[in-house]
Amino acid sequence: MSTVNIHAAKTHLSRLVDAAAGGEEILIARAGRPVARLVALEAPAAAPKRRLGRLAGQFTVPADFDAPLPEAVLDGFERG
């Protein structure tokens, strides 16, 4: 763990962030007293892998799925 004063932290922020991302812990001090700690964030948990075909055979698509909608239903969309 290294300690850096605020002025040096502002001047070398990019380098300090790279060091923190690499696992180093950096204390930022004002007048010799630590006021902040720069550490790497924990990696977010990976989203579960999606499995294709998981619902296969659980439902069927009707043959008229893409048939035009009845006039009564279309009128409901067009009312303002």
Q: Identify the pLDDT of residue 46.
A: 86
pLDDT tier for residue 80 given thresholds of 50, 70 and 90: low
- Domain residues for 13? 2-38
Domain membership flag for residue 53: no
Domain containing residue 27: CATH number: 3.40.1620.10
Q: What is the pTM of this model?
A: 0.53
Instruction: Tell me the chain's radius of gyration from C-alpha atoms.
Output: 29
| 29 contacts 7 by C-beta, under 8 angstroms | no
Q: How do residues 14-42 score in pLDDT, each as one tens digit?
A: 999 999 999 999 999 999 999 999 999 98
Question: Could you give the number of structural domains in the chain?
Answer: 1
Domain membership flag for residue 49: no
Supply φ then ψ for residue 3, to 5 degrees: -115, 135
Q: How do residues 42-62 score in pLDDT, each as one tens digit?
A: 887 888 888 898 889 998 989
pLDDT over threshold 80, residue 79: no
